[in-house]
Amino acid sequence: MKLNRLTIHKFKGIEDFEIKPNGADVTIRGENGTGKTTVADALAWVITGKGIDGSTIESQIKLRGADGNTPNDGGVEHTVEAELQDDQGNAVTVKKTYVEKWQKKRGDAENCFTGNTTLYSINDVPLSKTEFESRMSQICKEDAFRLLSMPLSFCQMKWQDRRKVLTEIIGEISPADIIATSKELAPLTAMLDGKSIEDLRKTLQASGKKTNEAMKGIPARIDELSKLTGENDLEERPVKETLMQKIASIQKQKSALQQELDTMRSGGATGKLRKELAEHEARLAERKTKLLSGGLASREDTEKKLSKLRSQLSSIGDEMETITKKKDQLETICESTWKLMANLRSEWQEENAKVFEAYISETCPYCGQPLPSDKVEEARRNAEDDFNLKKSRKLREINDKGKAMKAQAEEDGKRIQLSKDKLAEMQKRCDELALQIGGLEQQLDGMAEPNLEDDAEYQKILQEINSCKKAINSAGEADQDEVRRLTSEITALDLDISTRNEKMAAIQQAEKSRARIEELKQEEKELGQQWNDIQHKLYLTEQYLKTQVKLTEDSINEHFEYVRWKMFDQQINGGLKECCDPLIDGVPYSDGLNKGSRMKASLDILNTLSKHYGKKLPIIIDDCESYTSLIPVDSQTIRLIADANCKELMVETA
């Protein structure tokens, strides 16, 4: 696309200005402040709706006063019109007019300012903003205008956005393409398995860190276990065998002594006497049972009857207490219900006594004029009907609520009376049980137990038991001395066994420590092999990244004549970080490149972008006096040159 004509009227301080390059290159000269950049803004605004730098400029279009404010100009039209020619030679005229809106409000005698608006047209056909932008997006989109008309705009983008555009130019380089460059990288195909190279490196680095930490801890653990092993294995083996034999021998001695001690405790000199004592005690119990059985039978029967009656009385008492609580609750609820019903009657009477009272305005609230009498009467009737409807609804609600509460109160009253009747019956039953219990208690008091002291045979057995106990005490003193001796010897053997077991445990612990040391050495060996494997895989990923860097940068650089691209940044840890920096002779655009070289790089990039997008737009080069030479471009150029000798804008067409 080329610019055939640009006409400006009252735009950002320019009164009237027109250039007609008819698709040829054009140079605009003028000293600072004469409006060179304004011409660029006008072209950008009519095409994209924004200034040449991408900012909104509507607030700058009208002239400002000395105080910095923008006064109203009474509806002056601020117009920019551009005739554009596409690559097929077809011409289209686009026009925008920025104008104030003046409108007479109701009740005002004069028009007043209500804001600013923009008028749109293409080929003199008026369009809405949406229609205009839709048509312009087919002619030239905003992002394309900035990229293909402003040389410096691409390098001012975020590096991520630049990288995205460049990747679109060369296409995506797949992992398979990178791996195919070297047989050494072939194992990466299985290693990646759908993962990105970054994710694979993170996984390997995490595994390597974990493996390295595990390896670092093993020597300290081996050293700690070595201190616990004690004597060497050749010295410990015979000691262990001797200890095992000695412990078994001592255990055998202890078992013999324990058996002898158990015999003394269960028998000995007092064994026969204890047996006789048990027989006498059995005879005494049998005699006592025989004496008591005759008198106790009837007493036990009476006690059972008495216990049963008491249990029934207690059960009825518990049930009466539960019924009484429920009855009391119902009485409280019923009393509250009747009070609420009394309140409802008062509320009904108060509501029923209400009469319609309302003030109906006879004046229109909007215009203040009197309303027709039929409208006032109609409003009064509507208000009265609404009042009567609400009153009737309220009385019905109160009546329905009162009926429901009365029904509930009557139901609760019936339940209260049933509870009272039930309690009266249960009280009668309690009185009957109390009389029966009193009779049985008197009967039980008249029963006497037999006196065992009057029975001669019972007393004879008691004397035999006492004699047997005295004999046991005398014989037991001799047995106690033997028990103390046996217990002392067994205790000494237990101490000896405990000491030898401690030494045996130390030997066994040493054996376990040595076995664990061997396990740790094997684990350390396996971890070392695992570490080497991880490092080799990381090396392959580094080779992959280096290959990716070369393929990417070579593929991109093929599309540029002067610019070389740095797409990856080498990190201190050896890794690669994505970037997107243009270079001229090895100097980065953003770090040390002079102004002329920056423009050289920008125009080279613009040429490539034009080829990629298949579109050419007029290129606006500002501060062109700063460049002694420019590389050739395939598009129409509009050069803006600051010239102190030109007090007004001067146009030169090639």
- Measured CA to CA in angstroms, residue 511 lies from 242, 243, 455, 515 at distances of 16, 15, 77, 6
Q: Two tokens at 631?
A: 């590389």
Q: Is the pTM of this model over 0.85?
A: no
One-letter amino acid identity for 25?
A: D
Q: What is the mean pLDDT of residues 355-362?
A: 77
- pLDDT value at residue 247: 83
**pLDDT at 359 > cutoff 80:** no
At 182 the three-state DSSP class reads: coil
Q: What is the mean pLDDT of residues 594-607?
A: 92
Distance, in Å, from the CA atom of 7 to the CA atom of 444, rounded to the nearest integer, reads 134
Q: Two tokens at 535?
A: 């490092």
**What pLDDT digit, counting tens, does each position of 507-545 carry?**
777 778 888 888 888 888 888 899 999 999 888 888 888
Q: Are 37 and 52 in contact (CB under 8 A)?
A: yes
One-letter amino acid identity for 320?
A: M
Q: What is the DSSP string of 414-433?
A: HHHHHHHHHHHHHHHHHHHH
SS3 content of the chain, % helix, strand, coil (to 5): 65, 15, 25
User: Angle, nearest 10°, between helix axes 271-352 and 373-445?
Assistant: 150
- pLDDT value at residue 26: 94
Q: Which helix (H) or strand (E) holds 405?
A: helix 373-445
| Greatest mean pLDDT range, 285-289, 358-362, 368-372 | 368-372
**What pLDDT digit, counting tens, does each position of 19-37 carry?**
999 999 999 999 998 899 9
Q: Are 549 and 576 in contact (CB under 8 A)?
A: yes
**DSSP assignment letter at 636:** -
Q: What is the mean pLDDT of residues 244-263?
A: 81
- pLDDT value at residue 294: 56
- pLDDT value at residue 14: 92
- pLDDT value at residue 475: 63
**Strands 619-621 and 637-642: what pairing?**
parallel
Report the percent of the chain where pLDDT is more than 90.
21
Q: What angle do CA 107, 113, 116 make, to 5 degrees?
A: 140
Distance, in Å, from the CA atom of 346 to the CA atom of 325, rounded to the nearest integer, reads 32
Looking from the CA of 190 toward its CB, the CA atoms found within 13 Å total 3
Confidence of residue 296 (pLDDT cuts 50, 70, 90): low
Q: Which helix (H) or strand (E) holds 562?
A: none
| Total length of the chain | 654
Q: Are 642 and 113 in contact (CB under 8 A)?
A: no
Confidence of residue 265 (pLDDT cuts 50, 70, 90): low
| Sign of the Cα pseudo-torsion (587, 590, 595, 600, in order) | positive
Distance, in Å, from the CA atom of 29 to the CA atom of 647, rounded to the nearest integer, reads 9
**pLDDT at 493 > cutoff 70:** yes
**What pLDDT digit, counting tens, does each position of 403-428 carry?**
888 888 888 888 889 988 998 998 98
Q: Average pLDDT over the chain, rounded to whole? A: 84
- Candidates 175, 136, 63; CA nearest to 543 is 175
Q: Which long-range contacts (CB under 8 A, 24 or more apart) does 406-409 make?
A: 406/341, 408/337, 409/334, 409/337, 409/338, 409/341
Q: Which long-range contacts (CB under 8 A, 24 or more apart) does 170-177 make?
A: 170/552, 170/555, 170/556, 170/559, 173/548, 173/551, 173/552, 173/555, 175/544, 177/551
- pLDDT value at residue 447: 63
- Scored b (16 or more CB within 10 A) or e, 391-400 reads eeeeeeebee
**DSSP assignment letter at 267:** S
**pLDDT at 126 > cutoff 70:** yes
- pLDDT value at residue 292: 66
**What pLDDT digit, counting tens, does each position of 190-237 carry?**
888 888 888 888 888 899 889 888 888 888 888 877 776 654 444 455
**DSSP assignment letter at 29:** E
**pLDDT at 152 > cutoff 80:** yes
- Candidates 309, 315, 303; CA nearest to 434 is 309
**What pLDDT digit, counting tens, does each position of 168-188 carry?**
888 878 888 888 988 988 888
Print the SS3 string covering 204-246. HHHHHHHHHHHHHHHHHHHHHHHCCCCCCHHHHHHHHHHHHHH
